Each structure stands twice: as structure tokens, then as C-alpha cells.
Amino acid sequence: MKKYLIGSYILIASLFFVSCEVNNSDPDSNQDQDSIPEIQPDPEFFFKIGNSLYYRYSDLELYDSSAHILYFKTNHPEFEENSQSVFSVIINSDTIYKGDFWPMFRSDTPTRVYIHTWPFWLQNYALWIENRYNIIPDLRNDPVIIQAFKDRNLLHSGINLVINSLEVTNTQASFSFTITNKGQSALLIMDPDKMGINLFHYYTNGLLFRKTSDGSSFYVSVPAQAPSHYSVWNIDWLTKLNSNETITFNLVYPLNSPIASSEYKVTFVYPGFNLQISKDQLIQDDARIWLGDVRASVRISI
């Protein structure tokens, strides 16, 4: 989860509040369509922002289907200029789904997939398409999209998270999970053993326990240790995973008091870096720093 950075990012967001005209709104809006130049359909278009910004497959470096991140070959400052617009994913001139650029200052919640803005969670060489509210249908990995990227060698499967075990006693929760590199290239991932459990939990919120009977929830975690600055990171915090390689981590969370007996759905979010990593830092030797996050859940009875 990303709430750990909200305080810092709000300060950054204030720097983005400059006067700008949003001229790429939804085609269904009241905008004067006559003012927008007509774009002819092109099967090489895969992404559109507003009414007039189109991106071709040739603009794309890869799509990470585990974190739902589009990586572009170059930086795109115009993303920030359209940070309150809409976007569409297009395959063979057909719109597969639409979403919204969703500013942090909005008090309502998205009704479809979105890209978090003001600030963006990633620097402007990548776009992270999110679905935090489990909106259905979730078309981000629609088979038509996956096949189009695969046909052009743009599909990277990223990582897979599996919860191996979760044992809860009156004094602690013992948790084991495995990360697998499902892609064809080496990745660098956060290693809680190298970082230390407290620093690792600056980037994630630990275990979310949600009671299945009434939906009430709480976190089981450890105190977070912030880096010296939100943008600071260290290559020594990361572990390299080659294609199809796995690594297992074991975490222990002390409990201040026993967890009440009930049925729970327990969710864990495995984190990667986001805004900290610039385009020229993304590749380290022969491995790519994995960005974004993935989540997994397990049901337990206490």
C-alpha cells in the first residue's frame, strides 16, 4: 500500500498546482468536439489520453502484467499536463476499457480503473493502472490485451506472490510468502532480510485482517522505519531474481494482545519502488528494478 508516502507526496503535489488547461477530457463530456482534430483509426494505437493524445506500440518498452504498469521508451512530460483526464486502452481500433487519471485531492472514489495523480506514483516514463476497489469487470489483463502485447514481444509477466503459511498464536503471527519471477528477464526486488523488517514496512502495511462476518478490519504489523528521505533507496536492499527463480521470506509479527476468535480474510501487499526510480536507474547491470505492488490473500480461522 502507498499511504506511507501520502504525507511526503502531498508536499510534492503542491508544486504541481500550476495553471493549466485540461483539453483532453472524455469524448462524452461537453467539450466542443469541433476544436479537436480528427484522428484516423490506426491498429498500431494501443493507448489514448483524452481525445487527442495517442500512443503506438512503438512508443512502449514493455507492459508488466503483474503490476499493470506500462513502461514507455522515453519520458512523457505531457502525462502531468493531463493528470485530470481520462484514458482508453485500444486494441485493433476497439476500446477495451476506459479509466481516469485520479488526483489525490478528490474526495470521492473511482468507479473504474484509474491512474493515481497529483502526484503520479511513478515518474513520467511509466503509467500504473490501478483497481484498488476491486471494480468488476477488471479488464486490465483482458486476453485481447495480453495477446496484443505478447505478439509484439512487449509482455512481461513480472512477479507472482504466494502466501505459504500464516500461523497465529496469542503472542505472534508467523508469516511465510514466496515471490516468483514469472518473466523472461531478471528482476531486482525488495528483500526484507537485507532491508530489515522495519524499513521494509515503510513500503507496505503488513497483514490486513478482515473479519468475514462483518467486514471490520485491522492491521498486524511492526513499526515502520523511514529512509532519510522518501526518494532515497539503496541497491543493497534488493535481491536479483532470474527468470522462473523463486525466493521465500519469513516474517514474525509480535502481538500486543490475542486476536479475537473468528474467520478472517488476511491480505498482504508485497511492495516495489515507485516514484523513487528514474528512467536511467531502472536497469541495473542485466536486471530491471521491479516497480509497483502485488497482493495475495488467505482465509484463516482463529
Asked if residue 147 and residue 180 are part of one domain, the reply reads no
pLDDT given at position 153: 97
Residues 131, 45 share a domain: yes
End-of-domain residue from the set 120, 135, 151: 151
Residues 197 and 138 placed together within one structural domain of the fold: no
Shared-domain flag, residues 256 and 292: yes
Domain containing 196: what range?
158-301
Cell of 118: 497529483
142 shares its domain with 181: no
End-to-end CA distance of the chain: 25
pLDDT band at 208 (very low <50, low <70, confident <90, very high): very high
Q: Is residue 147 located within the same domain as residue 163?
A: no
* Count of structural domains, the chain: 2
Question: Is the per-residue pLDDT at 40 higher than 70?
Answer: no
End-of-domain residue from the set 97, 123, 151? 151
**Among candidate residues 158, 162, 175, 172, the one with its CA nearest the CA of residue 244:** 158
- Report, as an integer, the average pLDDT of 59-63: 98
Q: What are phi and psi of 140, to 5 degrees?
A: -60, -30
Residue 15: the pLDDT is 38
Q: CA dihedral in degrees (225, 228, 231, 236; nearest 10)? A: -70
**Do residues 103 and 209 both lie within one domain?**
no
Which residues, including other chains, have CB under 8 Å from residue 251's CB and lie 6 or more apart? 174, 175, 176, 177, 192, 197
Residues 207 and 96 in one domain: no
Stated pTM of the model? 0.87
pLDDT higher than threshold 70 for residue 22: no
Name the nearest CA neighbour of 61 among 183, 153, 139: 153
Q: Which CATH number does the domain housing residue 291 bear?
A: 2.60.40.2360
Q: What is the pLDDT of residues 89-108, one digit of tens each?
A: 999 999 999 999 999 899 99
Looking up cell 521470506 gives 249
Of 126, 151, 176, the position where a domain reaches its end is 151
- pLDDT at residue 11 is higher than 90: no
90 shares a domain with 69: yes
pLDDT of 129-141, one tens digit each?
Answer: 999 887 888 999 9
Contacting residues for 25 by C-beta, under 8 A, at least 6 apart: 31, 50, 51, 85, 86
Give yes or no: residues 227 and 244 share one domain.
yes
Q: Is the dihedral of CA 118, 121, 122, 126 positive or negative?
A: negative
What is the pLDDT, as a whole number, of residue 163?
98
Same domain for 143 and 167? Answer: no
Do both 164 and 80 map to the same domain? no
d(CA 51, CA 45): 13
